[in-house]
Structure formats: C-alpha cells, structure tokens
Structure 1
C-alpha cells in the first residue's frame, strides 16, 4: 500500500486514469432501473483516490474542459441556431425562462444560506444536473485573482455541493416529470402521445420507411403478374415490394429492372422489401429459390445530411413521396436524427437543414438520393483536428477579452467562448459539409473523456477538503439542491401548460431538455411508450447548454 500511494503521488497521471476508469465502471452499473451516472461516479472516485494527496496542474483541467465544451457545442449547434430562426423559437424562450428560474433560485438560496460564489455554483450545477456550470465556474474562479489559499478553499467547495445535490437532481427530476406531473396536470401521458402520433402522422410511413431491408429470389409463375410492367406490379403491392433485377431464363443474363420493364413467364426476379412484406407477398410471385448472382448487387447504409435548401421545411411525408418514388425506388428510410437525438419519424415532421436521414438501398439508388438531398456522410476514421483546434482558440480568445465598466472587469471567460465556438462550428458543419468533419465516435470521446477528465481533476484536487465540507454543509446542501431541482420543473410545467400551451408530451420533454437531464428523457419515453417527448427535448437541451454556461457568470460574480 505504501508503494501504491507513493507511486500515485509521484505519477499523478496514474491517479487520473484510475479515477476515470473507476468512474466509467461504477457509473455504468445498473441498480434496478437506476445507475449513479459516469460523471457523479468519476467525481466520487476522484474524491476517494485524491485522499492520498494528488495534485494535478490547472492547465490539464482546462484542456479537458475545453474539449468537452467544444464537442457539446458542435453537437447541439445546428439545432440551437435553427431553433432561433424557426418555429422552435417558442421552445427556446421557454427553455431560457426555465434556466433563469434555476439560476435565480440558486442565487437566492446562496444569499440566504451565506454561501460564496463557488459553493453556490456547485449547488446549481448538481441540483440542475448541468456539469457545464461546474466547469465554467471553475474557470471563472481561476481567473478571479483570489489569493492561492482562498482560491483553493473555494474550488474545494464546488465538488462537495455537486456531489451532494446531483443524485436527487437526476432521480427527482425523472420521477417528477414521468410520474408526478401527468397526475398533477390531469392527463394520460400514453394516450396524449398516441393521439399526437396519430394526428401528426406518427404511424410508419409505408413499409419501405421502417422495416428491415432484405431481398429474395423468386420464380415468376403467377399468371396474374405475367406480362405486367414493374411499375404495375409494385403499385399492386402498394410499393411495399420492389423488383430490382430479372433473369429471363435460368442461367441467362441479368438485367436491372426499370419501371417499364415487362415481367415474363418463369423469369427469376430479385425482389426487395421489408421483411414482413416479403413474407406476406413473395409467395404470390411463385416459388422462392436460391440465385446468389441475381441477389449479388451492391447496397449501402448511408447517413445523409440534409443540406439542400429546397427540401428544408418540407415534411417527412412529402420528402418520402418525392424522393423515394422513381428517383430512389426501393430505398428504405431506417432512422431520422436531429442533433444526435433519434427523432420519431412522423409524416408531418418538418425537415431542417442538418437533419440526418439514414437510408438503405441499392448503392446507385442511394447515390441518386444523396446527390439530390444533401451530403453523403460516409464513415471515416479521421477528424478535422485543425478545425476543432482553431475553433477552440478563436472562441477562447473572444471569451478571454475583458472590458471594464465602472472599474469592474467583465468577460465571458474562455469556457463560454469554447462552447459558443462549438455551436458556431457545428452549425457551419451542418450547412457546409465539405470541411470540419468530426465523426460521431470522436465526438463521443471528446465529450466523455473531456468532461470526465475534467471532473476527475476537480475531484483529485479537492479531495482533501471534501470530508470537512460534507460535515459542515451536507444536509443543508441536500435540501437546497432539492429546491433547485424542483423549482425550474414547477415553473416549466405551469408555463408550458397554461401559457405556452405546448402538447403535454412535448412540454415534458422540453422541461427535461431545459434541465439537460438525459435520465428524465429516458423515463419519459418509457412512461409515454413513445418518442414524442424527444421533439421537445432536442431544442431545450441545445438551449440550456449555452444559457446555463452564460448564467454561471452572474451566479459567481454576484457573490
């Protein structure tokens, strides 16, 4: 043990990775339907490992946090900017009000309880379940010019407040929104979401849009189909079956079928469609057989980013009717994503630039749709690191710029600058997809390693002051955290139901997003048995990430 402690003290990077490893391991363990979460687990692991007396340089902490903030901004930027310019503006305003209520509650409680800015920021970060607040506050405190001893004491308090208040912030908000709110406001969440889906085309958009894609070879023996064109047969089967290729005689040459191709007796056909459609209809053609060369045509599963202005604002139903007919006959829509959130595929959902449609079909047909609709975002291993690095530099330089008003220095701070830069870069990437590519897995690494590396640094550096802080502030902090969790939720429910009059499912999702509480979204989806809450969550989450970073400035400066 003595060797282990000495090694950690001599090589603090070992302590850092040990903390991150424990955090990810414990944070992903399930206890029934609840798990502690990686961020909270990493913080607690850092506070435990740090008891041996490990100190990490502040620049490492800031580097991790800059990576995290930029990746968050990059992910939510397209949705946030579009919401500001579209009919999502009401949800943006709604989310800002909720964020303001949370920050105001924290300031009032901090003043009433005699807390300083650091402790109040930690209280807000945990109770509001927004780790960005913790990082921005740390950045502001490091730039405050406080004496080293006073600064160290202040920085030690923030993780104490976060660790005490975060668990209820997560569990309480999920339970309040998914179980309590529908009862208080008097609606059946499952029923209203079903009604919304029915009214807005929440059913599947034809078989071709949602079912597993497959292809089979059949011999045409049905007299009802012999002599008909491909278009006539596909119309007969309501475009749930597509005829891709045909071999007129066994062992003969293969032709690619067009809409006017005539089907001949005993021809061997390659038909594609959803699995259920194939099971239901292929027997109406004739017996199925094995013909590997006939079925050996290239297919592609492609993430297609909508960049063509001509299609922005059109509904998903219109898009499928226009493009998934002749131009992309036999192409399947398998997923619809907005700002990395899987959206319900409703007929009436309006497409926005930057939305990602995952399509599957013959490679040539997929390429046809991609050329018309936008950018083919094919998987690549590399990231445009220059784009990311220069973005962080530009944002941080702007954030570091200080002006003096009445002798008081004012600046956004490098942390806010980094997230704003990420939002701008993410939006630019969504509209001009030829540069700035950062693959989803890389964003995951920057986001999770950046955040949890930063949290690990905080925990390790604050560990020695943690026990005393818990003993002095614990119960009061917990009760204050419950208020910061509940007040914004109550404000959101009242405003969303009575003032903005949002659909109940969308309203609950918007409240969860405005609190950036992913656990609450999961609980809502489970309780609603629907993805309708996701519609409200996406805009609320994007808005809260930026707004809470900005609101951290007055929270810290007010004390």
Structure 2
C-alpha cells in the first residue's frame, strides 16, 4: 500500500501538492497553548517531508501561482499604499520605509559577519521579517545570476531552510516584544499605556461642538421600534426635522422613518408634522431609544409599521469631497438621513469607528438602512461595491501580463544587467491596478473572497512546491547552520523593531498606541498587531498599521532582490 502511494505521488505530482496543502494547513492552524505554527511554515515543512519521496515538479508551475499571489497582494493594498505617500500618511510611510531599509542593512551585515551564502541570507531576511514573498523574488533573482545551474539550485534550496528556522521567532518573538516590551518603552508600563490609549479614545469620541455624536455608540446595535406619540414630545404638533434635531442635541441619534395615523401608513418628509396619537417607526441607537422612551411615548407592537426592507451594503470611498474628512460631517448632510454605519475596513483591517474617524480613499464602509436612503447616501461616499462572485478575469490577467512584461525588461548600469523581474513587475502592476480600480471602481472588480483565494492559494501552492523541491538539502542545511541561523533570526527580528520603537517615540513622536501599530505594520505581519491590540484592549493601533503595512509589504518584497545582489556582489 505504501509503495503504491509513493509511486502514485511520483507519477502524479499534483496529488503531492494537494496533500501538502491539506496536511500543512491542518498543522499550521493547530493551536498549542495559544501558539500556531502558521500555515506558510506548516505547508513548507510538510512539503519538505513529502519531497523526500523524490517528487519532481516543473519549476515553472510555482511561478504561475506566485504571480497570482503578488498581483492580488498589490491589488488589495494599492489604494492605501498611494494614500500613504500623500501628506497625511507620509510620516508613517516614511517611518515604515526606514525600518524596512534598516532590516535590509542589518541582514546584510549579519550575513556578511557570519559568512552566510546568498540563499541562506535571503531566507533569513524572509523568515525574520515574516515576509514570505521574499522567497519567490529572491529565488527568481538567483536564477538570473551569472552562475552555474548547480550553484543556482544549491542557493535556491537554502532559502526555505533559513526561512523555516527563523520564521517562528519572527512571528511569535516580535509579537511578544511589541506587546510586552513595546508598552514599557513607549509609556513606562502597560497599565499607563492602556490609560493613555483610553484617554485618546475619549478625546476622539468627545464632542467638540454641540450636536456631534460618537459614531461607535450611535451606530452599533441599531434598533427599529414603534411608539405611540404623546403630547410631551410634540405639543400640538412638531415637524419630523425638529423632533430629530431635539434628540440630536441630546447626543441621541434617532430617525423617524415611518408614521401611522388613523390606521393608515403615511409618506413623510422632514417637514411632516407629527401630532399626538400618531404611531412613529424610529430607527437608531438602541440605548438612545431606551433612554428617550419617556419623550417618545409608549412603545407598541406594530408589525406592519416596522415591516420594511433594511439592507446592508459596502461602499468604497472615492468621493473627493469625503476623502480625508471625518465621518461626523456626514451627519450634517440631509442625504445621510437614516443611515447607520456598521464598520470601516482599511486594507482588510477594521479600524476604530467614531465621529472623528478620517475617511481615506479606498476605505470600505458598511452601511445599514432603507434602500431609498442608501441610494441617496452612496454618492456622498463613492461607489457601491457590486455584489456577486464574478471576477473580472480580463482585468486580472491583463494586469499580470503587463506587469510581468514590464518586469522582464532589462537594462544595464555599467556592466551590470538589471531587471525588475516578472515577480516584481506583477507586484507593481497589482499596486497600480488596485489604485486604478479605486479611481474607476466600475471596472476591475475582484471580490474580496476571490482576492483571498488567489493570494492564499497562490502563495501556499508556491511554498508547497518550494518545499517539495528543496527537500534534499534541507536537513543538511539545518544541521550545518541551525542554531546559528536561529540566533541570527532573533537578532534580525528584534533590531529593526528596537529601532522602530526609538524612531516612533523620539523622532516621529507618534502616539504610543499608534506607534506600536506602525511598528507591527513595518514588520509586515498582522500577528504583532493583534497582540498589541489585545494587550491594550483597543483597536487604536490599527490606525498606525495600515499605511505602514502597505509600504512594508512593497519594501520588504523588493529587498529580496536587493539582498541577493548585495550578497552576490560581496561574494
């Protein structure tokens, strides 16, 4: 049976790839006292194990999947990357770029001191910074070097060895460092930083002018209820607009959506006069409705009044009049009447939601309301994200083709031939086409689920094939340089983060919580961000993470090319 299985895997290598994904994901997602190995490392190690059965896979296969990964990665962060290069995001973008460049220089110095070869150095850079994309771009760059095929294979096979040894501390060690040492460095203690973060949240949420409303509490847990109006609310009669304004001034966002009078449902407008005896359908914050019951009147069960369609839609922020402005301004616009904001995500990360949250180009904002009201609100923000699952394949394939053709162009600096490589071209194309889609959102739709599948599957199939191909030299490399590599990875993970904390506090002078989020973003990893947010019990660090992550993703991926050229020239 075992012989049959081995022969089958050798004859049909595609089965070996799928088996690697199956077991690798299962191992990578297993929690042991809160720690997970990670799916990339899990797939890599399983690939190395199965690769010992001498599975042969055409090398070009993995490149196709890697291009999908790079393009979709760039597509997803494109709007935030270019937003970060503007005035408001420039400090965090510059901070992240400096930290990533320091990591490249530290890696070069450590590798030169310890006499690592080019492949080991690239794997060290990738694992210590938890940037899996470096494996691919470094491998491509090595294959372009003017050395023998045997030497190329040897160097490429060393990359996953170094990556596997250094990745675990790169993730877990950095998460611990930023969540434990970070608060102490930034504020003297975790408790003090928690207090400072709460003060910042309170300051953000505090109304600075009459009628301003905390969006976090106003729009979470939205309720729709019916009340029998009494004279205390309206006197002899009061307009819908005046009643809503009265509650608005009390810091309670409530909207009158429907009215029943003498048994009949009536259409209403801001000037419609509400009189005692009317039954009104009210929507807004549940707590605000409960707190206002004495004024609203007796709550009644009117199923017909409250039977109306409420929709949830996602809108991409593209309107120039909304970009770089706080959400609170939307409350003052009549076309935003009756709309609830559930959440805002930026590069896939949910950010704190309050009246002062600044909307940026490419943000995804989730709205809840009646269809008619939503139709009025969408133009204020940008473009309603289309539903469905169909990906614009022409846009996807066209972007990859143009990017790889651009990356394949070669030019010479003196006697040195230089090219961006097809992988670098695909990443830059993803950035450009992601930004272009933010400008012209009617075209180039790639659903978030499709982006996730293409990026995840692309990366993990690539890693699986790397593991299957590198199995022969893995154990030998691990025996020869394992301990040294692990210690080098620790140093390379912590040195840039130490510099990042110093720059954040003394040079850029970020708020400590935002600074820790920027440090996590500059490490190109969400695990440290989650650890910091958990330590501070706040989502404020996400405000510093998104731009830093976008810049780090590009800078660190590009460093895979640079570190290979530096080490090859030095060698």
TM-score by length of 2: 0.93
Q: Deviations over 1:413-440 (max 9, x none)?
A: 1111111111111111112111011111
Deviation larger for 213-222 or 376-385: 213-222
Indicate if the aligned counterparts of 1:178 and 1:527 stay in contact, CA closer than 8 A: yes
Taking the TM superposition and a 5 Å limit, the aligned residue runs for 1:132-143 are 132-143=133-144
Q: 1:209 to 1:395 in 2, by over 3 A?
A: farther
For residue 206 of structure 1, report the CA deviation from its aligned partner: 4.6
Distance 1:418 1:157 in 2: 24
Taking the TM superposition and a 5 Å limit, the aligned residue runs for 1:242-281 are 242-250=255-263, 252=264, 254-281=265-292
Secondary structure of 1:53's aligned partner: coil
Q: Which residue of 1 aligns with 2:371?
A: 363
Q: Which residue of 1 aligns with 2:532?
A: 524
For residue 337 of structure 1, report the CA deviation from its aligned partner: 1.8
Taking the TM superposition and a 5 Å limit, the aligned residue runs for 1:234-383 are 234-238=244-248, 239-250=252-263, 252=264, 254-282=265-293, 284-318=295-329, 320-323=330-333, 326-383=334-391
Q: Which residue of 1 aligns with 2:226?
A: 217
Residue ranges of structure 2 left out of the alignment (5+ in a row) = 208-212
Distance 1:496 1:14 in 2: 48
Secondary structure of 1:295's aligned partner: coil
Indicate if the aligned counterparts of 2:215 and 2:353 stay in contact, CA closer than 8 A: no
Taking the TM superposition and a 5 Å limit, the aligned residue runs for 1:80-119 are 80-119=81-120
For residue 122 of structure 1, report the CA deviation from its aligned partner: 0.3
Distance 1:292 1:55 in 2: 66
Distance 1:349 1:268 in 2: 35
For residue 354 of structure 1, report the CA deviation from its aligned partner: 1.8
For residue 113 of structure 1, report the CA deviation from its aligned partner: 1.8
Distance 1:484 1:408 in 2: 29
Distance 2:380 2:473 in 1: 60
Distance 2:66 2:75 in 1: 14
For residue 142 of structure 1, report the CA deviation from its aligned partner: 2.5
For residue 208 of structure 1, report the CA deviation from its aligned partner: 7.2
Q: 1:220 to 1:450 in 2, by over 3 A?
A: same
For residue 35 of structure 1, report the CA deviation from its aligned partner: 1.3
Q: Which residue of 2 aligns with 1:36?
A: 37
Residue number among 219, 238, 248 corresponding to 1:228 in the alignment: 238
Distance 2:543 2:268 in 1: 40
Q: Which residue of 1 aligns with 2:145?
A: 144
Q: Which residue of 2 aligns with 1:17?
A: 18
For residue 277 of structure 1, report the CA deviation from its aligned partner: 2.6
Distance 1:505 1:305 in 2: 27
Q: Deviations over 1:319-369 (max 9, x none)?
A: x3333xx21212111111222221112433332222222111111111101
Q: Which residue of 1 aligns with 2:544?
A: 536
Q: In the alignment, is residue 495 of structure 1 matched against residue 503 of structure 2? A: yes
Distance 1:285 1:186 in 2: 47
Q: In the alignment, is residue 448 of structure 1 matched against residue 461 of structure 2? A: no
Q: Deviations over 1:14-51 (max 9, x none)?
A: 11111112222222222222211111111111112212
For residue 74 of structure 1, report the CA deviation from its aligned partner: 0.7
Distance 1:128 1:551 in 2: 11
Indicate if the aligned counterparts of 2:131 and 2:524 stay in contact, CA closer than 8 A: yes
For this pair of structures, how many residues does the alignment match?
554
Q: Which residue of 2 aligns with 1:469?
A: 477
Secondary structure of 1:217's aligned partner: strand
Q: Deviations over 1:104-131 (max 9, x none)?
A: 1111122222222111000110011111
Secondary structure of 1:173's aligned partner: helix
Secondary structure of 2:443's aligned partner: coil
Distance 1:455 1:91 in 2: 31
Q: 1:121 to 1:492 in 2, by over 3 A?
A: same
Indicate if the aligned counterparts of 1:222 and 1:285 stay in contact, CA closer than 8 A: no
Distance 2:478 2:38 in 1: 20
TM-score by length of 1: 0.95
